[in-house]
Chain A
Amino acid sequence: MDGLRRHKSMFLLPGLLTLFLIIIFPLLFTIRVSFSGWNVSNPAMDFIGGANYTAMLHDSRFWASITRLILLAGGTVLIQYVVGFGMALLVWRETRGRRLWRVLFLIPMMTTPVVMAAIWQTIFHESLGPANDLLDMLGLTGIPWLTESGPALVALMTVEVWQWTPFMFLLLLAGLLSLPKEPFMAAAIDGAGTWRTFWKVTFPLMAPVSVAAVIIRLIEASKLSDSVYVLTSGGPGSSTETPGYYLYIQGLRDQQTGYGGAMSLTYLVLMIVTLTVVAALLTRAFKLKGDS
């Protein structure tokens, strides 16, 4: 038995080694780097204590980007959930062209984010883009999509919703297809209407899938930076800057390696804590809903 156990461990070794190389080592290295003054003109791994963390606490741009991300991620994921659920319900039951709709709904998710953002940038182009042409045809004034703070945030959210609603749709549709039939039959026998059946049966039964889908999307949304890079480069001013993009500027472009390390770790910890709390709250909320 002991020999077998030892052999089992040997099978795990490559996986553990890979895990160490690609996760544990970079994490430990980042922790070490975050306590160093490594920057563009000082490539030394010296020890400067918590100076980077102190500087980060006073970096209003970093904290503003985190607040912005919370609004962006929260807003877009909520919209994605509502729209995605609606789309999943549409093609859940027997609908004409159901298979075609399912494929069509998934196309945005299959597009490369950077390419997709570049296309949206053309759509939102203020003088050449079709978005303002459409408004013009409707007799409305063109919107400065990418040069005013409010519209730029709306543009960014539109892109996010467009690309990631299909993901929500996919998970929720899978959830709907796996639901047991009996509760629905019981509801029908009791004479429950469509809305009542949805609210009292479908929605509570979908709670576990919903929580998982929302959390997965929140994790993804917390890394939002590629579409920001292409669409607005964080502008106008810094009104669409997310932590991911700010980290890129500081850590990679300006090569503030030590400071970038401190920000990355803080951001990681913040995200882990926030998402854990959000997951717990969502589970509780859905459970309560199910109980009622």
Chain B
Amino acid sequence: MRSRPYTALVAVAVALTATACTAQNQEQQKPKAKAALFKSGSEISYKKYGKDYPATKAKDVPGPCSYESISRKDYSGQTLKIISHAVPVIGEPTQLHAKQFEDITGGKVEVVNVPFGELHQKILTPLQAGQPAYDVMFYPSLWIGDMAPYLAPVPKTYLNSPGMKDVTKAYMDVATWNGKVVQYPIDGDRHYLKVRTDVLMDPKRQAEYKKATGKELRVPRTWAEYQQTAKFFSGKDFDGDGKANYGSAEVTKRDDLTFSAFISRAAPYVKNPDVKGGVFFDVKTMKPLINTPGFVRALDDMVKAKSTWAPGGANFGLGDEIFSFGGGQTLMSYSWDDAFIQAQQPDSRIRNKIQAAPLPGSTEVYNRTTKSWDSKANQAPYFTWGWTSAVAKPSPHQQMAFDYLCFFGNEANTALDLTIGRFGVNPYRNAHFDPAFWEKQGWDKDVAESYVHTLSGMEKSTNRVFDLRVPGVNQYMSALANGVAAALAGQSSPQQALDDVAKEWSKITDQIGTDKVQSAYRNVVELEDNS
């Protein structure tokens, strides 16, 4: 009985302290006003931040995220903590914009750069433990199923900004979870085909190909054509530099995004426009579909493609793929923008000798309802994750955090970031689909148009595949990559490898909870079926 007054006193003290802290936090969140450091429409360049940045300039576009608006805010005395990927991909622009943000607002910004393999746990573990270690987080958007419960929804002020309004529908969908925008779009990624036009458009090569195969040499429209073309040119010195060239560069290293490469190959075989209800699982039963005939055929194709890869191609990570195609070693590749941008760098020997095209399709697509193959030409663009950013729900600096992200992705910064290949920032706003913008960077008209039309064409497609964005997505993708790698290494047949993956997926679903995964997977199916 005696302890009661003390208990009450402690409770009151805790409540008062909490209120005081909250009030202090709220006070901290609000920036003070100061004079703008930039005039509206000023010319922006990164020149003052080092020689590594090109002298390219962009105009500050008026709006709440512009240099002019953000520089009116005084965040001195506040510190923002950010976690991002290792330099350079996304990590470098995170650091650069942090320095700029510090310079113009007076606030302190601490950036922690983490290798890809450690990023997930370094972000999620503190959030799970209720410790807001970071205010802002940069991570692959497919982790939304794991992250969503810990993210602060993007406030309306930012959602109504002109820059955000211009984000394409696909990327606003990627940022949305259960009807709320919880991820702040800063990048748009998708897989598409890249080819060397100096070979494919060369009349001499076309004649040789026709003579040998009886077919026209062109940018492949199906995976079968891709294989035939890649095989024909593999091992030949088709650019006359005295070294052998190869047909195809693909991401095949088990723990280096192989799952995305495989999904690209499987998409046209498994995404049937007439069949709704999920590509990876049957959303009604949550039975894995990963070992159905469409996926097996894609893995068969991938195993056959080994003969078209450069030496070591069976262990290519994303970096190898970038430099194999971007460096002119291979005729074709498919993955994110990086290899294309690498090939278009001013010092590249294949600059303006390349073209972008949609991912190859198929002449038939599996129908899991009728359990048979439908004979029809099919293409299925794959929106494969892409970097995103978000603000932690428990962050005491939410306004500063959103202001930083708003500044990171403002029109001027994005225009400059898009031109620096190593940054990993790729088109995600309608304004980015303008060939003139790329021509200004020295791209030939044909190259710029092929790039822009390929990317914007994906936005218009109604038969798209998105990533499996469910809780535990890393586990599912790790199991898939393991199966693909086992088949590529000859340890299992494609069917056996994918049967093993399906078993593993069922186990993972049971472990996480079928209802939980199903509820999340409905969001993915909704994106695909409504597209």
Q: State the CA gap A127–B475 with chains docked (Å).
A: 33
B315 adjacent to A146 (CB under 8 Å):
yes
B511 adjacent to A237 (CB under 8 Å):
no
Within 8 A of B (CB), among A65-101: none
User: Does B471 belong to the interface (CB within 8 Å)?
Assistant: yes
Q: Closest residue to A234 on the B side, CB-wise?
A: B254
Chain A 239-267 near chain B by CB (<8 Å), digits 1 or 0: 10000000001001111100000000000
A126 adjacent to B489 (CB under 8 Å):
no
Name the A residues within 8 Å of B474 (CB-CB): 40, 253-255
Minimum C-beta distance from A57 to chain B (A):
14
Indicate whether A40 sits within 8 Å of B315 (C-beta atoms), given known contacts A235-B254, A249-B478, A254-B475: no
A236 adjacent to B472 (CB under 8 Å):
no
B512 adjacent to A39 (CB under 8 Å):
yes
Q: Which listed residue (B128, B253, B478, B485) contacts A43, Cβ 8 A? A: B128
Within 8 A of A (CB), among B114-156: 117-118, 120-121, 124-125, 128-129, 145-146
Chain B 498-517 near chain A by CB (<8 Å), digits 1 or 0: 00000000000001110010
A238 adjacent to B486 (CB under 8 Å):
yes
A237 adjacent to B486 (CB under 8 Å):
yes
Minimum C-beta distance from B127 to chain A (A):
9
B129 adjacent to A149 (CB under 8 Å):
no
User: Does B392 belong to the interface (CB within 8 Å)?
Assistant: no
Chain B binding surface SS class: helix
B253 adjacent to A233 (CB under 8 Å):
yes
Q: Which listed residue (B118, B314, B486) contacts A147, Cβ 8 A? A: B314
Q: State the CA gap A132–B312 with chains docked (Å).
A: 11
Within 8 A of B (CB), among A133-157: 142, 144, 146-149
B255 adjacent to A237 (CB under 8 Å):
no
Q: State the CA gap A249–B311 with chains docked (Å).
A: 27
Q: State the CA gap A239–B315 with chains docked (Å).
A: 13
B485 adjacent to A147 (CB under 8 Å):
no
Q: Which listed residue (A42, A148, A236) contacts B512, Cβ 8 A? A: A42
User: Does A165 belong to the interface (CB within 8 Å)?
Assistant: no
User: Does A125 belong to the interface (CB within 8 Å)?
Assistant: yes
Minimum C-beta distance from B527 to chain A (A):
20
User: Does B444 belong to the interface (CB within 8 Å)?
Assistant: no
A238 adjacent to B491 (CB under 8 Å):
yes
A147 adjacent to B146 (CB under 8 Å):
no
User: Does B256 belong to the interface (CB within 8 Å)?
Assistant: yes
B315 adjacent to A127 (CB under 8 Å):
no
Name B residues whose Cβ lies closer than 8 Å to a Cβ of A.
117-118, 120-121, 124-125, 128-129, 145-146, 253-256, 310-315, 471-472, 474-475, 478, 482, 485-486, 488-491, 511-513, 516
Name A residues whose Cβ lies closer than 8 Å to a Cβ of B.
37, 39-43, 61, 125-127, 132, 142, 144, 146-149, 232-239, 249, 252-256
What are the nearest 8 A-B pairs in CB distance?
A237-B489, A126-B311, A43-B128, A236-B489, A126-B312, A41-B471, A147-B314, A127-B311
